[in-house]
Structure 1
């Protein structure tokens, strides 16, 4: 024996690494969903629909990965690699990622709200002025019509 690793073992090792990274990517996709849920409050039914769609997308993605990388053969170590990748990302990176992006998005929404509010202030004053003048005009027209 020459001590070299067979080509099949190398391919399966590469597939395991790929499935691990794919699991991390799937969990990052779920992080995006969780960030969205922190920003926009949801009801239970919408949460269930979002989760169902997420898992359908995950299933299709895993199937496509197995089909492309392993000729459609189901290998349990691939599913294990995906699961471990998801667990690692969820345990190590997910809390930081979610907290960071929720803060950034909330800050940017707050700033943009202030900018829009400041830009709308002159328009609001103009609107109130015209509304007041139109009420006066309406009153004058009504009095004029009543005299006839």
Structure 2
């Protein structure tokens, strides 16, 4: 196989992996949204910044690995990988993330409740 074809195949593989990395970062963003509920304005701003991050990362891949030449198959591989990850992996991971988020919230509530009990027990008792 020629060196040119090997380079193009490596670029396609890197773009496929980039799509998966971008979706993992979106899953982390969704976990953040589970842990810290906020309104639609902030969610919209987070999404805008996420897509800017995706564009910068894809451009960086093209710039560093392909001298800035835009290749349609690179963008296609990134989108295909993101879609495949979302349909296959992310749905299952998100169920796990939701359970993890609920577990973390329950632990926080439990810690706060124990602290309240300790504070209540430490207060001096009033005599009647």
TM over 0.5: yes
Q: Which residue of 2 aligns with 1:60?
A: 56
After TM superposition, list the pairs within 5 Å mapping 1:62-141 onto structure 2: 62-127=58-123, 129=124
Partners of 1:119 and 1:42 in 2: CA distance:
26
Partners of 2:26 and 2:113 in 1: CA distance:
33
Partners of 1:96 and 1:68 in 2: CA distance:
33
Q: Which residue of 2 aligns with 1:141?
A: none
How many residue pairs get matched? 127
Say what the alpha-carbon RMSD is for the aligned residues: 1.8
CA contact (8 A) 2:31 2:101 kept: no
Q: Does 1:32 align with 2:48?
A: no
Larger Rg: 1 or 2?
1
TM-score by length of structure 1 reads 0.77
Partners of 2:43 and 2:112 in 1: CA distance:
31
What's the offset of the Cα at 1:9? 0.9
After TM superposition, list the pairs within 5 Å mapping 1:36-51 onto structure 2: 36-51=32-47
